[in-house]
Structure 1
Amino acid sequence: MSVIVYYTSITATAELERQQNGIKDMLEALKIPHKLMDLSQDETLLGEMRKKTGNPKALPPQVFYGDQYCGDYAAFANAMEYEKVEEFFKAQCQQKQ
């Protein structure tokens, strides 16, 4: 099982692009296997992402470990602030299984 990030390649704001790139860059830096799901390429992915988060208004980026929800960008930023990024992607997500 690997980390799945729901994101969009068509961003409306520079802030959204920065958030998405921050998550993707950290996954690559930590060499954590991941899959990127581009909401702009498949219209069914937005509904799938929102259903999995349990939030009908959830916006990208959203992070999962398999089908287990890890969090959004705010949760990721919090993990960065407390130097717990690797745990956010690995241990935190795995514990929720």
Structure 2
Amino acid sequence: MISYYYSSVSSNLEIKKHQQKIEMILDSKKIEYKKIDIAADPNAKDRMRELMGDAKALPPQLFNGDTYCGNFEAFEEALECESLSEFLKL
């Protein structure tokens, strides 16, 4: 199952747009995913960063189970290369 870490509270418009695009693409391709809001659960942010090995990482971030897939830029590149399934390790 794809885990999608995002923040429901962000003053950064770019992050909000990235999150919306990820959700729109995953929904349109009927890829099931679990949304994890790091703003609602402080432990979620720590877990996301721990799984990535990056103590300063910001959302959105994508995982398949506990396996890190990538951030928005990597997601967008996978879309352009038509390799989204490989990127998400499906």
Is TM more than 0.5 here? yes
Instruction: Give unpaired runs (5+ residues) of structure 1.
Output: none
Q: Is the 8 A contact 1:52 1:69 kept in 2?
A: yes
For 1:37, the equivalent position in structure 2 comes to: 36
CA RMSD of the aligned region, Å? Answer: 1.2
Identity %: 38
Matched to 1:47, the amino acid is D
Over residues 1-60 of structure 1, what are the superposed CA-to-partner deviations in whole Å (9 max), with x where a residue is unaligned?
Answer: x10000001111111001011111111111111100001101111111000001111110
TM-score (norm 2): 0.92
For 2:57, the equivalent position in structure 1 comes to: 58
For 1:47, the equivalent position in structure 2 comes to: 46
- In 2, the alpha carbon distance for the partners of 1:3 and 1:75 equals 15
- In 2, the alpha carbon distance for the partners of 1:84 and 1:67 equals 20
TM-score (norm 1): 0.86
Q: Is the 8 A contact 1:19 1:61 kept in 2?
A: yes
